[in-house]
Structure 1
Amino acid sequence: MSRPVFIELLTPDGEVLHRHKHNQLPIRIGRAYDNDIILDDPHTAAHHAQIELNQLDELIISDLDSFNGITRANSRERFFVVDGDAVYRLGHTRLRIRTPDYQVAAEQTDFTNHRWEGLLPATVGLLLLLTTGLLTTWLSDLNQGSLGKYLLELVSVFGFALGWSGIWAIFSKLFSGHARFGRHLFIVSLCLTGLEVWDYLSSMLAYAFSWEVLAHFTVHPLIFICAIALYFHLRTAGNKKPGRLKFYLLALALAGTGISMTKQYQASNHLGDALYLSQLYPPALRISRDVSLAELMSNIDELQATVDADRKESSEKNESNTPAGSVDSADTSSPGTDTPDQP
């Protein structure tokens, strides 16, 4: 055979561990030392599989009467016609077979070799943290606190961001060979800024437009913002499965919102974490229409009717649950006890 055949041994995630080039067929695979490719997998036979040409001049991989056989996409067959995109499993070993005429994918954009690395994103991230920390402290400072209060706020925010980014940088160095501390610092800075901005923006919109849902469910958008930040952290750390990663993080965020609503319902019989608009702003921010006194009184009357109906239903239910033979001790006296005469 003039064309070479490339056999790639893969990890469970599809990464290439070893690539073997062979110019002669057949190619035998197994644990025995007389094979062309020797496997260190106890779940494979001494002579497990063979790559050869069939009568139609097709390249096939065939089973050599092994116990575990050969599977492709959870389908076990005696032999398979070789497909360059298919992964064949021999025991716990995954391999792929390709020939020189296999068409590789197009070149991908290199996002790790641009100016948006190192000092530039780190500086932008620190400026975002500085601006957000000072602004939020100033907005919440009703007593005109001292300079030390502002410095303490900045130190706590910077300490968290630098520590968080350092952990992710170590993680990235271990798995991708590049720390990329600046990119991680920029991501966590955007996340913290987004959390603060959403906190103020949601309360202002809820007050301006009477959108109570923004006040009732304040935690859930924050969970999704954190999930987005985790996605970019993991992508920067070298994750190569963005589709699967998005699915996992979306499921994690939905689980977090479900747990939050469950806890709130158990505590207050309401799914939201707030029952009313707790943030008040100047009346000039109000955009929704004003409610007239007549409409307000009408709503109060409807609310009173609803409360009275619920109270009546609750009292009737309590009476129906009281046993028929039970008598209140305050209304009757014990047998054999004389009741004193009334004056």
Structure 2
Amino acid sequence: MSDASIALLEVLDRDDHVRHYLPISSWPVRVGRAIDNDLVLDDAHIAAHHFSVDSDEAGVFVRVGETVNGLRADGRHLGAGQRSAVGERPLRLDAGDSHLRLRLLEHALEPELPLRAPRSVWHAAGPTTVAGLLVLASLLFGTWLDQDPDDLTRALASVLVAALTAGVVWCAGWSLVTKIFTRRSRFWWHVRVLLFGVLAIEFAGAAANLLAFSLSWPAISDFGFVYTYAIAAAMLYFHVLALEPRRPQRMRAMAVGMFIAGTSLSLWFNHQNRDQFGEELYMTHLFPPALRVAPAVDTATFVKGLAPLKATLDDKAKKRDSGGGDEAMVDEE
């Protein structure tokens, strides 16, 4: 750009990276599809003379030409003939499927961002390595608890191979999509998102079970799937953020929508299958008695508390017997 330039009109790609720019040394500047414009855009949704940038006593402004689609200036829609002043910051312009940014000489530059280079190999790979080892230990420990000693070796090998294969395929798939859209794979970013997400799910599940047992509040573990969906939605947000780093609000809205949809469906299916919104029919997680915080209940009080359950079970039994009688009548006919 020459010393006489007073502004710069940049053409941006979908990631807001500068694809092309036009140095401006005098006003007005015209933009459109016609070849007599100062900046020619090959976009079927842009008019021959779509808009122009000019100045007067009040300052620099953008004026929309004869177009049916109009122009968006910093998100505000402008119709044909309308104008918008350029403020103290670069002006984002969206015309058709094209994205532009107008920068004036007096616009202040954003401060330089420091490179996020790790201080050492440990700072680069240490957290990921520790998270991977913790996930692996959690999976192997759960397998050791669930399996018989005779089948333990085979089960541990199967879990190890399945976990590594699934993790590599998952992260490689996200990396491929990220590479296609942003030209950077960011493989280790997706690995960290997966590992820390799995650790968070394991920790949330264990904490919910422990609290439910300690406080004798089964609802904490009964609705454990809600915590899982919340963490999965956060994982999805950070995965997709690698694809659209400049649209975090849209990505957050998508993650919240997925969380609400998943939770709602689980609540509906639980109610349809078990006549309750929770997931567990009874608390199945036992911990050492020393961890109990809730006061102990004597046998008489416990049996007395089961009295309301008898009416519910009798009602279900009557409904089942009534259905069986109807089926028998149909068979006899």
Shift of residue 278 of structure 1? Answer: 2.2
- Change in Cα spacing, 1:169 to 1:65, as seen in structure 2 (3 Å) is closer
Count of residues in Structure 1 that have an aligned counterpart in Structure 2: 313
**1:1-343 alignment runs, 5 A limit:** 4-11=6-13, 14-54=16-56, 56-72=57-73, 73-76=76-79, 77-83=81-87, 84-108=89-113, 110-111=115-116, 115=120, 119-143=125-149, 145-236=151-242, 239-304=245-310
Query: 1:133 & 1:287 partners in 2: Cα distance?
Result: 29
Describe the SS at the equivalent of 2:306: helix
- Change in Cα spacing, 1:45 to 1:192, as seen in structure 2 (3 Å) is closer
Asked if the contact 1:5–1:98 (Cα under 8 Å) also holds between the matched residues in 2, the reply is yes
TM-score (norm 1): 0.77
Asked if the contact 2:91–2:103 (Cα under 8 Å) also holds between the matched residues in 1, the reply is no
Query: 2:307 & 2:152 partners in 1: Cα distance?
Result: 50
Describe the SS at the equivalent of 1:131: helix
After superposition, the C-alpha distances for 1:107-162 in whole angstroms (9 at most, x for unaligned) are 44544666578654553343223322222222223546442322222121122112
Letter of the 1:23 counterpart: S
After superposition, the C-alpha distances for 1:191-226 in whole angstroms (9 at most, x for unaligned) are 223333333332232122212112321222111222
Shift of residue 36 of structure 1? Answer: 0.8
Asked if the contact 1:10–1:18 (Cα under 8 Å) also holds between the matched residues in 2, the reply is yes
Describe the SS at the equivalent of 2:278: coil
- Change in Cα spacing, 1:132 to 1:305, as seen in structure 2 (3 Å) is closer
Shift of residue 259 of structure 1? Answer: 0.9
Asked if the contact 2:90–2:104 (Cα under 8 Å) also holds between the matched residues in 1, the reply is no
Tell which structure's C-alpha radius of gyration is larger: 1
- Change in Cα spacing, 1:221 to 1:148, as seen in structure 2 (3 Å) is same
Asked if the contact 1:7–1:20 (Cα under 8 Å) also holds between the matched residues in 2, the reply is yes
Q: Which has the higher helix share?
A: 2
Asked if the contact 1:172–1:236 (Cα under 8 Å) also holds between the matched residues in 2, the reply is yes
Asked if the contact 2:8–2:24 (Cα under 8 Å) also holds between the matched residues in 1, the reply is yes
Query: 1:119 & 1:171 partners in 2: Cα distance?
Result: 23
TM-score (norm 2): 0.79
Shift of residue 18 of structure 1? Answer: 2.5
Residue segments in structure 2 that go unaligned for 5+ positions in a row: 323-328
Which deviates further from its counterpart, 223-232 or 251-260? 223-232
Shift of residue 27 of structure 1? Answer: 1.2
Letter of the 1:82 counterpart: V
Matching residue of 2:326: none
Shift of residue 236 of structure 1? Answer: 4.3
Asked if the contact 1:4–1:100 (Cα under 8 Å) also holds between the matched residues in 2, the reply is yes
Query: 2:265 & 2:290 partners in 1: Cα distance?
Result: 37
Query: 1:300 & 1:235 partners in 2: Cα distance?
Result: 50
